[in-house]
Homo-oligomer: A and B are copies of this chain.
Amino acid sequence: MEDTGPNRSARNGGLGLTNTLSSGDRIVSFLIGQFSLVWIDQQQSLNFNLNVIESEWGRGANLDVLASKLAADPSHSIKAVCIVHNETATGVTNNLAAVRKLLDEYGHPALVPVNGVSSICSLDLRMDEWGIDVALTGSQKAPSMPTRMGIVCASPKAMEAAKSAKSVRVFFDWNDYLKLYKMGTYWPYTPSIQLLHGLRTALDLFFEEGFDNVTARHSRLGKATRLAVEAWGLKNCTQEEWWFHLVLTALLWWFHLVLTALIIVKRAWTRYNLIMGLGLKKVAGKVFRIGHLGKLNDVLSLRNKKHFGVEMVLRDVGYPVKLGSGVAAAAAYLQNTIPMIPSRI
């Protein structure tokens, strides 16, 4: 299915919910960082009966609290458990298989809508095996296309729920799409032919590389970046290894109270033409982010540019980084792990 607007959780997330739920429905939602928060903001706007489970930012979803809520809900009043796969703001990847396992243990039928904006097509996400009901991302994320196309996948269970969901919605009603799809007309609105062709090509590239290779590649880039961070004497914002975010590394900036991460990000931009994300809200000023998501054809291209640039920026602001140290750490790891390119051997 195609959605068509700004492809952030704030938007697609809403669609997944309005199509499957009704105003007043009880839902559980994990708050572990800025992008979870944006989603929760809309869940509030959409008038759901919202139970937020918050973790310290830098930690993953608190599944113990979920377990207790499920245990206390024999009547299945919880209609959905909303979870962000990768929390882009803190660099944490949640364990979706564990969420499924919990729901199964309690025989709980809640829907599982997943914000997979930065994970779909870069990390391992098993919609059927993990019982995910709605999964969404955007064309400008792993597919490396222009912005503008949201991609929403729905399970049969979600499609069934759409028949009776009563949320107010006039745009992207799944039922409209299905009706015209069955008529052979396909789209209730003018479709974006260009982006649909682009998506076809993006998928071809994924299949050609193989999804195992895609996730292995992102995993290598994440590991190399974390080694660089360590070499710089900085800390990963993500607090424990099993939450390491494989397509983004968030660095905790503890060095100097006055020199906030904002200064670092600004300098990278004004002097080195280098774009980094900031920590947001609770980790504002304390985190800056290095992304490594997408069709990096050249496994090196984007990454070490940033390592190299980050080292210069850190020196510029007075942090005692040894130039080349992060790059060296990343290189020592990558040198032994990057596979040969089969077609070129």
Residue positions of A touching B, CB distance < 8 A: 3-8, 10-11, 14, 23, 41-42, 45-47, 138, 140, 146-148, 167-172, 187-195, 269-274, 297-301, 304-305, 307-309, 311-312, 315-316, 322-329, 331-332, 334-335, 338-341, 344-345
- Our pick among B171, B322, B325 for the contact of A6 (Cβ within 8 Å) is B171
Q: State the copy count for this chain.
A: 4
Closest 4 CB pairs of A and B: A6-B189, A324-B328, A324-B324, A4-B5
Show 8 residue pairs from A and B whose CB-CB distance is below 8 angstroms, ordered by the A residue. Answer: A4-B4, A6-B188, A45-B169, A147-B192, A305-B305, A307-B308, A324-B325, A324-B329
Kindly state the separation between the CA atoms of A23 and B171 in the bound complex, as whole angstroms.
Answer: 16
**Distance to closest chain B CB from A206 (angstroms):** 17
Kindly state the separation between the CA atoms of A325 and B167 in the bound complex, as whole angstroms.
Answer: 54
Kindly state the separation between the CA atoms of A145 and B345 in the bound complex, as whole angstroms.
Answer: 30
Task: Kindly list chain B residues whose C-beta atoms are within 8 Å of the C-beta of A273.
Answer: 297-300, 341
Chain B's closest residue to A339 (CB) is B271
- Our pick among B7, B187, B189, B327 for the contact of A327 (Cβ within 8 Å) is B327
Task: Kindly list chain B residues whose C-beta atoms are within 8 Å of the C-beta of A325.
Answer: 324, 328
Given contacts A7-B189, A45-B168, 6 further A-B contacts (CB under 8 A): A14-B171, A168-B168, A269-B344, A307-B308, A323-B328, A324-B327
